[in-house]
Amino acid sequence: MIITKKALARRSFLRGAGAVLALPVLDAMTPAMSAAASPAPTRMAFVYHPVGAIPDRWTPTTEGKDFEFTPSLKALEPYRENLSVLTGLAQVQGRALGDGPGDHAREGATWLTGVHPRRSETNLGCGISADQIAAEVLGKQTQFSSLEIALEAPGLAGSCDQNYSCAYTNTVSWKNPTTPLPMEPNPRIIFERLFGDGDSTDPAARQARMNEQRSILDYVAGSIDRLQTNLGARDRAKLSNYLDSIRDIERRIEKAEAQSAEMQIPELERPGGIPEEFEDHAKLMIDLQAIAFQTDMTRVITFMLGRAGSNRPYRNIGVSDGHHSLSHHRNIPETIEKVAKIDEYLVSLFAYYVQAMKATPDGHGGNLLDNMMICYGSSLGDANVHTHHDLPITLVAGTKLFEGNRHLRYHTETPLNNLFLSMFDKANVPCERFGDSTGRLASI
């Protein structure tokens, strides 16, 4: 065997006419015999689910290790060893505190900040969010410091909840106390942001690309051929799998764009590239995130399954009423069952997220989940009465970062931000305190 110290540059790209494609981590990017000296980077994801959860369908009855999974969490049981269910955490700054109604605006604004938002349509005031604290450090090593992704079209202007700005409901990510970050719901724009170098916001440009129906991989075919001749068998297999993933994502985006172009819906503008079915949209966005992490384009992603107070119906699972409307169930058994069904469904999508990370190689001999932390949660507990304590929160992480297979119960008013401080420590993100944090979580 020939040992060489030459390495393919870590920031390697395939380039073609109007296209730039980042590469996943390959063996050739590390000089021979030195792979162990290149540790896998730590990644963080924050996955937001709206409108709380039915408490007794969510919270395990037993504590500690080997707890029994509840109906709402059942889809996560295959990932038990990576999972911690955290009960008792709160974002008390989401309470009225003299401001009156508007719990859903405060639900979105406080989830990652722990800061009571200023009640205004134009004069915004909140706090830097946990994802952006992490992005300030982890983002120094990547092309994008963070990505903010959603499944519902956002808007940051106007009033959406009791004279609170729509910014508070449509994003959970805040660059600073006065700057909300918009969430992107269009997979085509996310894809082009990661891999294209054109103006992805230009509708004419997007339409022209759709009409051509040409893959970005076709543009860089020459670069791929040249690269493959210099790679070993294992790297060629890695590259082939990665390119197959890119082609599959492009195929799904093109299909979604074609469906959008063909649909005749009066007085309704449908953004190109968003699949017609919610689940297709969600899974496509999740697969894009796996690619973004795998190529190390970013190490921090925030993902909203729905805006705060979302009233989306889930007809694909037999629930035609709006989520928010159902959440005020008034203890009617039939209505509770519908909300619980939505809770279970959203958790199943999160389970798909976890599986996508676990199935994606990280280029360091493991998978993305091995060195990753994912917080899944909401800033409402029982949405029927708008509580902001006993939040439905789970943490999924590589076992080298956090021990899994545990249900941990904390004092009812323990700040959720304490969890984020604990996550920062594992990612080497310096932060002593933010929002309403009081310290690190015990036992985590």
d(CA 32, CA 178): 48
What 3-state class would DSSP assign to 256?
Answer: helix
- 125 and 180 fall within a common domain: yes
- 304 and 389 fall within a common domain: yes
What 3-state class would DSSP assign to 329?
Answer: coil
- Chain segment 61-105, per-residue pLDDT in tens: 999 999 999 999 999 999 999 999 999 999 999 999 999 999 999
- 150 and 229 fall within a common domain: no
- 260 and 318 fall within a common domain: no
104-140 burial, b at 16+ Cβ within 10 Å, e below that, comes to: bbbbbbbbbbbbbbbbeeeebebbbbbbbbbbbbbbe
Domain assignment of residue 34, yes or no:
no
CATH number at residue 339: 3.40.720
- Chain segment 305-321, per-residue pLDDT in tens: 999 999 999 999 999 99
- 84 and 138 fall within a common domain: yes
- 170 and 303 fall within a common domain: yes
- 171 and 205 fall within a common domain: no
Domain final residue pick, 273, 299, 321: 273
- 179 and 43 fall within a common domain: yes
- Chain segment 322-353, per-residue pLDDT in tens: 999 999 999 999 999 999 999 999 999 999 99
In the chain, the percentage of residues whose pLDDT exceeds 70 is 82
Q: What is the number of structural domains in the chain?
A: 2
What 3-state class would DSSP assign to 8?
Answer: coil
Query: Do 217 and 246 meet the contact criterion of CB atoms below 8 Å apart?
Result: yes
- The per-residue pLDDT for 200 is 44
- 84 and 145 fall within a common domain: yes
Domain extent, residue 16, equals: 1-29+189-273
What 3-state class would DSSP assign to 301?
Answer: strand
What is the pTM assigned to this prediction?
0.84
55's enclosing H/E stretch is helix 55-58
- 181 and 207 fall within a common domain: no
Quickly count: other Cβ atoms within 10 Å of residue 349's Cβ.
20
Domain assignment of residue 198, yes or no:
yes
- 318 and 178 fall within a common domain: yes
- 53 and 133 fall within a common domain: yes
Query: Do 63 and 43 meet the contact criterion of CB atoms below 8 Å apart?
Result: no
